[in-house]
Amino acid sequence: MIKDQIQQQAAHIFDEVVTSRRHLHANPELSFKEFETSLFVQHKLKSWGIPFTTMANTGVVGLIKGDLPSDQVIALRADMDALPIHEANDKPYVSKNKGVMHACGHDVHTSSLLGTAYILSQLKAEFAGTIKLIFQPGEELLPGGASIMIKEGVLENPKPDHIIGQHVMPFIDAGKVGFRSGIYMASTDELYVTVTGKGGHGAQPHQNIDPVLIASHIIVALQQIVSRNADPRLPSVLSFGKVIANGATNIIPNEVKLEGTFRTLDEEWRLEAKRLMKKMAEGIAESMGGSCEFKIMNGYPFLVNEPVLTDNARTYAEDYLGKDNVLDLDIWMAAEDFAYYSQVTDACFYRLGTGNAEKGTTYSVHHPNFDVDEDALKVSTGLMAYIALKQLGN
């Protein structure tokens, strides 16, 4: 059976996958600067005789064709970039690049897809169809590497019928995976607001136009967009995480800068909410004697898992891991540039459990203590290979 062959190959490659993951973790690179990571991936593919091309500067796209005839094509995607975070772990594979860390598990994604590539390369005589391997840069930084790779033709020549991605989840135990059909993750937009007034002495507020006070009113009032304008059945999140007012205890500054994020799950509401926020912020500033520059950097769309593909993948996962190890996921208001793929082709994005309380791997992604239970790599490589081959009809 193909499952038995995959499991045997996954066990054979496991130690090498762990070694690759630790190498990548120790040598993280920021978004769109994954030069050594890209070369590492290319070297591995070349050593296994897997042809590949490069695109989006550091992206790598491999191709494995089964020896049996079929026009079916499926793409498998991993992201390669790290985050600007100083790692706080004390492990032999701790980041060597100060201030840069694989705090979102992209080292796991890349090493796992390499393991999957090896498994599939060993089974070419056993399956029909073509598998496209997408090693993508820049997931963590707008405009997102996925959007660039799509523009450069990653979903063409050959055109995949489906695309599959997996992502670590520390809140799920290692050995388990999670799926959700339909809309799964939120869109994300970045907000950059500059409130301008007239600075001066804090003891003479009547002679000034206080941008701190104006900005405070704007922050509070904009929450009304979510609480009173959004359909209460539709999740929306508006958060400001950066406020800069470079005055002092007795100095009112000339301007205040705000930075935040808006996330939701509906494109029409997303567009309308941004229009309302801009109008409200500018109106408040003007009514209080100041002015407001409200810039919006449009980010990733919402991520939708195609129901038939996702239900199939879940069934294959239950067959590979057992039903008790396959969980239902709730909506997740984080964002992911895999969403770009989901907007143009049938997609399934599932979660790989990496948590283990005894091993201390339950810290959230983007935390300086984030790490994974590497036993998850026993699942990540073989499962993706199995889903791919089953979806191709093998």
Pick the catalytic residue from 81, 140, 173, 306: 81
Amino acid (one-letter) located at 37: T
Q: Which residues pair with 75 in a beta bridge?
A: 132, 163
What is the Cα–Cα distance from 77 to 120, expressed in whole angstroms? Answer: 14
What is the Cα–Cα distance from 394 to 387, expressed in whole angstroms? Answer: 10
Instruction: Tell me whether residue 139 is one of the annotated catalytic residues.
Output: yes
Instruction: Tell me whether residue 161 is one of the annotated catalytic residues.
Output: no
Pick the catalytic residue from 34, 87, 107, 139: 139
Sheet strand arrangement including 291-298: 236-244, 255-264, 189-196, 291-298
Q: Which residues have a Cβ under 8 Å from the Cβ of 324 and sit 6 or more positions away?
A: none
Q: How many CB atoms lie within 10 A of CB 136?
A: 31
CB of 255 closer than 8 Å to CB of 195: yes
What is the Cα–Cα distance from 45 to 61, expressed in whole angstroms? Answer: 10
Q: Which residues have a Cβ under 8 Å from the Cβ of 35 and sit 6 or more positions away?
A: 29, 58
Q: Give the active site residues.
A: 81, 139
